[in-house]
Amino acid sequence: MQRIFWLIALLTFTVATYAQMPGGGAPPPGAFPGGGRPAANGHLYGKVLDNDGKPLPYTSVIVFQNKFDSASGTKKDVLVKGAITQNNGDFSLEGVPTFGPLTLKISATGFKQYVQTVSFKKAGGGPPSTDKDLGNIKLTADVSQLNEVTVTATKPLMKVDMDKKVFDVTQNIASVGGTAQDVMKNVPSVNVDIDGNMTMRNASPQLYLDGRPTTLTLDQIPADAIESVEVMTAPSAKYDASGGGAGIVNIVLKKNRKTGYNGNLRAGVDSRGGLNGGLDFNARQGKFNLSANAMYHQNRDRTTGYTNRTDYSTTPNLHTLQENTQTGGGGFMFGRVGLDYFMNNRTTFSLTGTKVHGEMTPKSTLDIFTDSLFNTGTTNSFSHRITDGKRVFNGNGLELAMKHLFPHEGDELSVTANYFGGTNKNNSLYTTNYYTAKGGTYTDNEIQKINGNGKMSHVTVQADYVKQLTAKSKLEAGVRGQFNYTLNKNATYYYNDETGQYDLSSSSSSNYENHENILAAYGTFSSSVKNFSYKLGVRAERSNYDGKLINTGEKFSNSYPVSLFPTIFLSQKLGHSQELQLSVTRRINRPNFFQLIPFADSTDKLNITKGNPALVPEFTQSFELSYMKTFRNNSTFMASGYYKRTSNTITSYIDSQTDETTGSTALINTYINAKNSYTTGAEITLVNYLTKWWDMNTNINTYNSKVNAGTSEVQNDALWSVFAKVNSNFKLPANFELQLTGTYQSKTNLPVNQQKGFGDGPPNMQAQSSSQGYIKGFYGVDAALKKSFLKNKALTATLSVNDIFRSRKTDQISYSTYFTQEYTRLRNPQFVRLNLAYRFGKIDASLFKRKANSTMDTNSGMQM
């Protein structure tokens, strides 16, 4: 098929070329000896080899002849014949003109073009020969192309498009052997807390993987498989309107399509004995491209913290202090295999499969000091709780994609069908012993067991079409359907001392399922007039969800009619490499599964959580004005001012309600639709190439945020805050590289609407009420050192340290008329990781063909 395609293409090109010549391309009289046409019965043949003498199949061999063009009155090269080499490197061209000099050109990916003048004339004169053996022709490797495989080229740290900023993270040595959570710590504009929750401008963005929404979390994506991160504070209409005012963070995975093979093999260990390893591999031969990624990461988390609460909603008032120590065990595996089929130059089919598996074994100890504050005095009690749990999840994904390029340049059609689904199981055993005081007399105990399981599936079908109307105008349109299903089951048991059995607690058990469907269509039009560019778009979405409590048969549903989400992007290029950009967008954020489930999780008596099925989506209007300046050395300065206003803001909220398990009044962590909220601020991003050996990117964001809950009991004051991140990279002598990263977050209101991913389970809110508290300021410093070895730096060793000064901790203050609380946690400080990575690869167009023919071609001298 490939040979047929090349021959058809060459024939079409030949016919088109001759059709441009007057009289069907006939040369003027006298152009050839005797005034006639040249004889076209010549036969050229030979063999194409690489530097090592190995045959090169599927190599382009083309013959040109210099002819007179009557239109221009000059001579020019005209294609007269072409072919591609066979598996053993042989080529044969028949019907070639025998009079006049010819030019032979041979081209192969990864090699310099070979050019030779060919003539059928005999050395002693006489009639020209009709056969010409060109012998073995060796091509010279193109060193610049080989370096793309063996040497890591320097890429721009940031590229700015009209609707996104793209950050190259392949040189981020601090994240080697880690996960996407480590990568995001070094991406400007993005803040990641100690639990891996990602925020952007103090709100939770929508996480994408390769341009599609994903249910995976940051710690379930290997860092070494990531090529770049796209930050979209104001996404265009092409993307989901979901994500509220925080926008989208899109993780782009590595996918190499170079001819031949290349890969990366890595392994590492951390300071707690946790192992990690991975393999990336890519092979391209002819019409097929195979890519694979695999990663294993052991979990060795260590977390300490405390919760200090005074509860005013009970009689008597209670003061409770919890001191917590948690360790994490288990591990996580990620696998991804992709196959591309290049049917022809314009159509490509891709099939990608993903497999994830995780087994987490968290253990924790909790010391609880309780003081009952009677008017007559204080009564003390103490309890010690040991938790032993296990959580297992399995996920499987499959994506089928087709991309077609039309003959008209710029026109393309892409269609994708994506499935991701899986199952999860969890079980926990809570043993609580009660004492008169710490170290005092034992009084009683309680043993509680929770068994749970669930499953989910996400199916997405999408089609996108691009039409290049003129050189400066483009139309884009598409449709998308997303269909989600979630099932969650939890059963709570209490140990009965009398029977020696576990009794089911129906009030603490739930079986809940949820269906959600989202249909969307969009269109955008972009164009430019001189230095002014614009992109206008609109997206239409409608959605509905249906939920059901399986135990009781109680149903919950809601249907949202079609909503329109317009987007406007304007850009004006100024002199001296300056540019102004303005964006106006409207977005939506729908309540997720755990925010809707009407079940109270009272596993932790101090932090009971419950969803709210009456929640409705929130809508956000965003305005952003940016100025960008690019300097001669490609350093970039970008400053943005923004304003976001959200109606029906979904926010966590602590309320005094009846605990269905005990029947008594308790503080319940739940969700409400606040009246509205706003965030306004300014952000500066700097990318500086200070010297040949030092580059740095800096991000500073200052903002003011406020949630208007509509009631004085949950009103939160507006607060000005600052978030800053600095990342410095140094190229040192002896092939050393050093990376230093620092982050600072000042006192800020709690972020709203934290999102959870697949396998995460219900959120442990820990009284994180966005409308009832704030986070104290903190900072953190990370460092990484990299050393390269061997030829072309193929082997590297990386040593990284996380949170050098043990300063990156969560310290939250929450309050209302019902309670005051301080919640503090420190996770994985001074965490050290050592990794080794070996990069291999070779550009070789005959990778597989040579192996298949090794027994037939004894002269190839080939070794795999």
What is the rounded CA–CA span in Å between residue 787 and residue 738?
9
pLDDT, one tens digit per residue, over 256-304 is 666 678 888 999 999 999 999 999 898 988 789 999 989 999 999 999 9
Question: For the residues 219-242, what does the mean pLDDT come to?
Answer: 87
For residues 123 and 265, state if they share a domain. Answer: no
Give the pLDDT score at 12: 37
What is the rounded CA–CA span in Å between residue 326 and residue 685?
37
CA dist list (Å): 717 to 677, 720, 773, 801, 811: 11, 10, 9, 37, 18
What is the rounded CA–CA span in Å between residue 274 and residue 267?
11
Of 121, 136, 132, 128, whose CA–CA distance to 50 is shortest? 136
pLDDT, one tens digit per residue, over 765-811 is 333 344 577 889 999 999 999 999 988 888 999 999 999 999 999 89
CA dist list (Å): 381 to 365, 386, 433, 440, 773: 17, 17, 11, 10, 28
Which of these three, 141, 170, 193, is where a domain ends? 141
Give the pLDDT score at 195: 77
* Phi (first) and psi of residue 90, to 5 degrees: -70, 145
Q: How confident is the model at residue 20 (pLDDT cuts 50, 70, 90)?
A: very low
For residues 134 and 267, state if they share a domain. Answer: no
pLDDT, one tens digit per residue, over 315-352 is 788 899 999 999 999 999 999 999 999 888 789 999 99
Given a cut of 50, is residue 730 above it in pLDDT? yes
Higher model confidence: residue 26 or residue 367? 367
**307 domain-assigned:** yes
**Beta strand pairing status for 102-107 and 158-160?**
unpaired
What is the rounded CA–CA span in Å between residue 502 and residue 453?
18
Give the pLDDT score at 860: 33
Higher model confidence: residue 851 or residue 168? 168
- Least confidently predicted of 49-58, 63-72, 367-376: 63-72
Residues facing 795 on adjacent strands:
789, 838
**823 domain-assigned:** yes
**216 domain-assigned:** no
What is the rounded CA–CA span in Å between residue 546 and residue 460?
18
Give the pLDDT score at 675: 86
CA dist list (Å): 506 to 244, 549, 552, 662: 36, 13, 11, 12
What is the rounded CA–CA span in Å between residue 452 and residue 444?
27
For residues 569 and 711, state if they share a domain. Answer: yes
**CA pseudo-torsion sign 167, 173, 174, 178:** positive
**757 domain-assigned:** yes
What is the rounded CA–CA span in Å between residue 699 and residue 694?
17
**239 domain-assigned:** no
- Least confidently predicted of 146-160, 196-210, 835-849: 146-160
pLDDT, one tens digit per residue, over 68-99 is 766 667 777 888 888 888 877 888 887 788 87
CA dist list (Å): 308 to 327, 367, 692: 21, 12, 51
Domain that holds residue 573: 260-842
Q: How confident is the model at residue 571 (pLDDT cuts 50, 70, 90)?
A: very high
User: Could you tell me the CATH number of the domain that includes residue 7?
Assistant: 2.60.40.10
Higher model confidence: residue 340 or residue 30? 340
Question: For the residues 752-775, what does the mean pLDDT come to?
Answer: 49
Quote the pTM value. 0.74
What is the rounded CA–CA span in Å between residue 216 and residue 226?
14
What is the rounded CA–CA span in Å between residue 512 and residue 574?
57
Of 128, 116, 139, whose CA–CA distance to 47 is shortest? 139
Give the pLDDT score at 155: 60
Structure tokens given for 839? 């990069």
Give the pLDDT score at 482: 93
Given a cut of 70, is residue 753 above it in pLDDT? no
For residues 578 and 709, state if they share a domain. Answer: yes
Please state the domain count of the chain.
2
Q: How confident is the model at residue 857 (pLDDT cuts 50, 70, 90)?
A: very low
Alpha-carbon dihedral angle through residues 852, 858, 859, 864, given to the nearest 10 degrees: 40
User: Could you tell me the CATH number of the domain that includes residue 616?
Assistant: 2.40.170.20
Of 188, 198, 206, whose CA–CA distance to 723 is shortest? 188
Which of these three, 119, 141, 163, is where a domain ends? 141
- Least confidently predicted of 50-54, 432-436, 450-454: 50-54
Neighbours of 136 (CB within 10 A): 12
Cβ-defined contacts of 498-505 (< 8 Å, 24+):
502/449, 505/661
Angle (nearest 5°) at CA 502 between 496 and 506? 105
**417 domain-assigned:** yes
**511 domain-assigned:** yes
Neighbours of 475 (CB within 10 A): 15
DSSP for 374-436?
ETTEEEEEEEEEEEEEEEEEEEEEEEEEEEEE-SSTT-EEEEEEEEEEEEEEEEEEEEEEEES
Residues 6+ apart with CB under 8 A from 558: 544, 545, 616
Of 26, 114, 19, whose CA–CA distance to 63 is shortest? 114
Given a cut of 60, is residue 710 above it in pLDDT? yes
Given a cut of 50, is residue 17 above it in pLDDT? no
Of 140, 120, 135, whose CA–CA distance to 46 is shortest? 135
Which of 197-206, 524-533, 709-718, 741-750 tops mean pLDDT?
A: 524-533
Structure tokens given for 471? 């050189």
Q: Mean pLDDT in the chain?
A: 82
Cβ atoms of 279 and 291 within 8 Å: the answer is no
Structure tokens given for 177? 């052997």
Higher model confidence: residue 657 or residue 138? 138
**741 domain-assigned:** yes
What is the rounded CA–CA span in Å between residue 602 and residue 616?
25
For residues 134 and 278, state if they share a domain. Answer: no
Length of the chain counted residue by residue: 864
Q: How confident is the model at residue 123 (pLDDT cuts 50, 70, 90)?
A: low
Which of these three, 102, 125, 141, is where a domain ends? 141
Which of 98-112, 459-473, 639-653 tops mean pLDDT?
A: 459-473
In the Cβ-directed half-sphere of 94, how many Cα atoms lie within 13 Å? 0
DSSP for 437-470?
STTS-EEEEEEEEEEEEEEEEEEEEEEEEEEE-S
- Least confidently predicted of 69-83, 217-231, 631-645, 670-684: 69-83
What is the rounded CA–CA span in Å between residue 659 and residue 721?
36
